Amino acid sequence: MRLLLLRHGQTHGNTAGALDTAVPGLDLTELGVRQAEAAARVLHQSGVDGIFVSPLVRTQQTAAPLAALSGLDPVVLDGVREISAGDYEMATDHDSILGYIGTVADWIEGRLDTRMSGAETGHEFLARYDAAVEQIAADGRRRAVIVSHGAAIRTWISQRVTGSSTHSKATEGLENTAAIELEGSPADGWEVVMWTSDALGGAFLEDETAPDPTGQAIEGDPEHDTVE
């Protein structure tokens, strides 16, 4: 099957630089709505037969234009929600951002025992995301879209997708409505078919001024990581 992981459109949390990970989360900005509409046009042209979203409202708002074009009803799956910020929830200060991104970087490097302060370990995150992907695959979809989150997408891909460049790409930034398409299955593994770190529809839909902590590039460091 083909599995397309789409990051949600820009939110007010992204523009504020806040670690907004709890349900229901903040809404899309006006730019985020335009990003969602542009992504829908691109994805509808190539055809999809399933749309899956997280419980956070931003993924559901991002999926709405594609659902309208395709006539598909998005299915909410808890497993594809963002990595919980725990004690850092809604923080905007440098140390909190560093704590969150540093933990994500540990997981990308395979140090899955690390626990997000007040939240889950890497093992726990992967278990819930894996369960959601397995449910989608079991439904017999041929090309499904998961509207998910920046840190979650990159972390899951870093641990579950083969290919020599996957790890390095997972540490790069992922813009709002950027997409990664995979081919394979939970049983056989996944390979990257397409990886775009830019917004679907064109770079003109991006906001380079937004702090966007969960979409930023990270650098690996065993003692925790720095935010670029």
**Structure tokens given for 193:** 């078919």
Residue 30 annotated among the catalytic residues of the structure? no
Partners of residue 146 on adjacent β-strands: 5, 52
207 vs 10, 31, 107, 108, 199, CA distance in Å? 9, 8, 27, 25, 10
Residue 82 annotated among the catalytic residues of the structure? yes
Find the catalytic residue in 37, 82, 109, 181.
82
Q: Decide if 108 contacts 171 (C-beta within 8 A).
A: yes
Find the catalytic residue in 8, 109, 181, 206.
8
Partners of residue 28 on adjacent β-strands: 11
3-state secondary structure of 195: strand
Query: How is 39-85 classified by DSSP, letter by letter?
Result: HHHHHHHH--SEEEE-SSHHHHHHHHHHHHHHTPPPEE-GGGSPPP-
Rounded CA-CA distance 191/135 in Å is: 19
Give the residue numbers annotated as catalytic, written as ranges: 8, 82
